[in-house]
Amino acid sequence: MSCFCGDPNFCPECGNVLPLPGLQDTVTCPRCSFNIPIREFLGQVITSSVVFNPLEQSSTAADQTEDSELKGPVIDRRCSRCNKEGMVYHTRQMRSADEGQTVFFTCIHCRYQEKEDS
């Protein structure tokens, strides 16, 4: 007698996902080695589907990406390209956890981007 009952895609003994039936007359659970007769799988239909994202991106997604570059705290830092004051920054952990963060700066006037490793 088994502990679990329900979906036949799962082992009734331990609840692990069962492999697809093969040429053998039993299906064996890879976790607990419980055997199920192949006749219990007769009549089951296995289906799958793949959903792809649309190829064209909406203009609002592109606008949101551009606007997100200019969100954040503005600091008094001079842009090396346009030489104006005012840059937005954000930080990311680009290397291992025991090393400093990388700071990304974006000019609010010309959108030039710089990075600085800490």
3 belongs to an annotated ligand binding site:
no
Q: The dihedral of CA 4, 9, 11, 15: what is its sign?
A: negative
- Compute the mean pLDDT over every residue in the chain, rounded to the nearest whole number: 82
Tell me the pLDDT tens digit for each residue of 17-49: 888 888 889 999 999 999 989 888 888 777 778
Query: Once rounded to an integer, what is the mean pLDDT over residues 2-10?
Result: 71
pLDDT confidence band for 5 (50 / 70 / 90): low
For CATH 2.20.25.10, the residue range(s) in the chain are 74-117
Do residues 113 and 105 touch, judged by C-beta distance below 8 A? yes
5 belongs to an annotated ligand binding site:
no
The domain made up of 74-117 has a fold known as N-terminal domain of TfIIb (2.20.25)
82 belongs to an annotated ligand binding site:
yes
11 belongs to an annotated ligand binding site:
yes
Is the per-residue pLDDT at 80 higher than 60? yes
Do residues 56 and 39 touch, judged by C-beta distance below 8 A? no
